[in-house]
Structure 1
Amino acid sequence: MSRRLPVIHSITERAEGPSDRTVEVLDLEFSNGERRRFHRQKPHGHGAVVVVPMLDDETVLLVREYAAGVHRYELGLVKGRIDAGETPAQAADRELKEEAGYGSRRIDVLRAMSLAPTYMSHQSWLVLARDLYPERLPGDEPEELEVVPWKLDELDQLMLREDFSEGRSLAALFIAREWLRNPT
């Protein structure tokens, strides 16, 4: 079913919560005449990248880093923000060098992923990095991250690990695995 997008009558901003994050309040009118106010977090920055670095055709590189939200060390993919003036491919290569100590000669931007599209407009770009070579750039991490090679055909084991819980990393690995099997 195809629906006409709601009409936005106004957008106002306000600070909300203990961190005073900016929230946009949208005054919307739907095609059936109903009006509602929806809230969404105002985006900060230029988005983010989630990088799937392939050491070889079967092995992805994960990083283990401290995750303050769950207060433990967590396995996941290389990820980070896109700086002003960077493309997702450039940000992915920089983050890969900072977090895993590798650069990439072949980068494919596969797609954008949203975190919570009902109330956030933030986008994370899924990037596949291949033809890796050693190169390290200084990053903003307080300690060097452990790099953990993982076979793509063992994702069933990885997805059940307690220390691998970030949804973007899990989704990105399955998408990249399927893309590698059937590149378009």
Structure 2
Amino acid sequence: MSRLEEKTLKTEKIFDGRIIRLQVEEVELPNGQLSKREVVKHPGAVAILALTDEGKMVMVEQYRKALEKTIIEIPAGKLEGNEDPLQCAKRELEEETGYGCDEIEWLISFYTSPGFADEIVHLYMAKGLHVIENSANLDEDEFVNLKEVTVQEAVQLIGEQKIYDAKTAYAVQYMQLKEALQEK
């Protein structure tokens, strides 16, 4: 089958919230049949692999209601309006950790759950961390504990299912590959 696109015939908005929108789309499939797709619309997000001068990764421990558990993650947050992802990454790093950085670079962008959502995460690496006096605070409904972990400790946390999200696992894998290449 050469044509794989699905043509949207009708969109019904189901929910419009603070973070996501849910809609049901009636689509024409490549074979001409009709089907429905439930789609979550998301403004996009950033995640920051923040490295201390000692090479440790700065992470946040926080409770995630959707999982009903506390997990450890790299700092992250959603884009506000038409916010530039780089500016969002700097803002989220400051808000969640109290750190600014001398250097920040984009690593990669990826979709989190393309089967039903359009959320894209832009992953950045921040170096040259420094504490910002009177830094921006967490959102009023955010509570986190800061952690600094080595790559080996992060791998252990993945095994213990304390690191349990894709963006953080992706960042840890990036660091593992980086270390392996440096050893050669």
1:131-179 deviation digits (Å, cap 9, x = unpaired): 1111121220446521111012433212112322122211222124435
Shift of residue 62, structure 1, vs aligned partner: 0.7
Q: Does 1:169 align with 2:168?
A: yes
- 2:145 partner letter: E
Query: Percent identity at matched positions?
Result: 19
- Match for 1:159: what amino acid? I
2-side partners of 1:14 and 1:57: how far apart?
Answer: 51
Indicate yes or no: 2:109 matched with 1:112. Answer: yes
- Could you tell me which residue of structure 1 aligns to residue 23 of structure 2? 23
Structure 1 pair 60/151, CA: closer, same or farther in 2 (3 Å)?
A: same
Q: Report the number of matched residues.
A: 177
Hey, what does 1:134 align to over in structure 2? Answer: 131
- Seen in structure 2, the aligned counterparts of structure 1 residues 119 and 36 have a Cα distance that, compared at 3 Å, is farther
Mark the CA change 1:60 to 1:40 in structure 2 (over 3 Å): closer, same or farther: same
Cα offset, 1:180, TM superposition: 6.9
1:63-103 CA-partner distances (Å, limit 9, x unpaired): 11122123333211101011224221111110110011101
Paired residues for 1:44-63 under 5 Å = 44-45=42-43, 47-56=44-53, 58-63=55-60
Matched ranges for 1:1-184 at <5 A: 4-16=2-14, 21-30=21-30, 33=31, 35-45=33-43, 47-56=44-53, 58-135=55-132, 136-142=135-141, 145-179=144-178
Q: TM (normalized to structure 1)?
A: 0.80
Is the 2:154–2:163 contact (alpha carbons within 8 Å) kept by the matching residues of 1? no
SS of 1:159 mapped into structure 2: helix
160-169 vs 124-133, greater mean Cα deviation: 160-169
Please tell me whether the aligned partners of residues 49 and 127 of structure 1 are also in contact (alpha carbons under 8 angstroms). Answer: yes
Gaps of 5+ in 1: none
Q: Deviations over 1:101-135 (max 9, x none)?
A: 10112111111111111221110111111111111
Distance 1:168 1:36, change over 3 A: farther
- Kept in 1, the 8 Å contact 2:9–2:28? The answer is no
Structure 2: gaps (5+ residues): none
CA RMSD in angstroms comes to 2.7
Relative distance call for 1:8 and 1:108 in structure 2 (3 A) is same
